[in-house]
Amino acid sequence: MKEITRTPIVILNFKTYLESTGEKALKLAKISEEVANETGVNIAVVPQYTDLLRISNEVKIPVLAQHVDAVDAGGHTGSILLESVKMVGATGTLLNHSEHRMKLANIQKMVKRVADQEMVSVICTNNIETSVAAATLQPNFVAIEPPELIGSGIPVSQAEPEVVEGTVDAIHKINTKIGVLCGAGISTADDMQAALDLGSDGVLLASGIILAEDPKKALYNLVSKI
């Protein structure tokens, strides 16, 4: 928990790419660990549920789940139970990712359940307004990703710096302990630097690294100016 909230942080979302599933997920997690060790930057990985166990057994960097469903233990065939991801080593989870939006009541329920399990919550949001609403629920992090920039290659820190700054300001008025992450279009050292300069505590990213020709090089590059 302590480690996962050390900032600046790079959170690497494996999504459901074949390039980051199974053996390739493990390899990518090991690369992330190497870069974290060599650079001292806090890097967390977010593999699929099926890969959580092996990755958390084999690397020492923080491992998060991509989502958990708003259910308690019981008869919920097919759902993602928070306790199930914790038991295989996840120390936190994304919530409300743009590819898996959640109902307000469910986000609130799960931020609380995650905290009760002494795990870390990262709520993804799409603009300043939803970031503020999310922050009132007291997660550990809010990751803002303007949907028009996701996968665009255009970094939010460059295209909409005022959104990042506005989000940081608004969230810190609610609780200065909530970390703010930038999450769309980030892939280079300059993007990363700009994100931090705007007051954020790190980045949430995926395809810029996962689908890079040389993920390790791309990840090194990303954190090279921190």
Catalytic positions: 97, 145
Q: Is the Cβ of residue 43 or residue 194 nearer to a second copy in the bound state?
A: 43
Using CB under 8 A as the binding criterion, the count of chain residues that bind a second copy stands at: 61
Among 9, 45, 122, 137, which residue interacts with a second copy (rule: CB under 8 A)? 137
Place of tokens 């050292």: 189
End-to-end CA distance of the chain: 22
* Per CB under 8 A, 212 contacts a second copy: no
Residue 157 parent element (H or E): helix 156-159
Q: How far is the CB of 23 from a second copy (least distance, A)?
A: 8
Among 7, 30, 34, 80, which residue interacts with a second copy (rule: CB under 8 A)? 80
Among 10, 12, 15, 41, which residue interacts with a second copy (rule: CB under 8 A)? 15
Among 4, 35, 45, 85, which residue interacts with a second copy (rule: CB under 8 A)? 85
* Per CB under 8 A, 173 contacts a second copy: no
* Per CB under 8 A, 76 contacts a second copy: yes
Peptide bond into 161 cis (omega under 30): no
192: its two tokens:
């990363």
* Per CB under 8 A, 153 contacts a second copy: no
Place of tokens 């890079």: 212
Place of tokens 């190497």: 34
- Between CA 67 and CA 77 the distance in angstroms is 16
What residues pair up with 10 in beta bridges, in sequence order? 43, 203
Place of tokens 């990712």: 97
* Per CB under 8 A, 96 contacts a second copy: yes
- Between CA 121 and CA 170 the distance in angstroms is 19
What residues contact 177, with CB distance under 8 A and at least 6 apart? none
Among 148, 151, 152, 169, which residue interacts with a second copy (rule: CB under 8 A)? 151
Cβ neighbours of 193 (radius 10 Å)? 16
Q: Is the Cβ of residue 111 or residue 194 nearer to a second copy in the bound state?
A: 111
Contacts with a second copy, residue ranges (CB under 8 A): 13, 15-18, 21-23, 46, 48-54, 66-67, 71, 73-81, 83-85, 87-88, 94, 96-108, 112, 125-127, 129-130, 132-134, 136-137, 151, 206-207
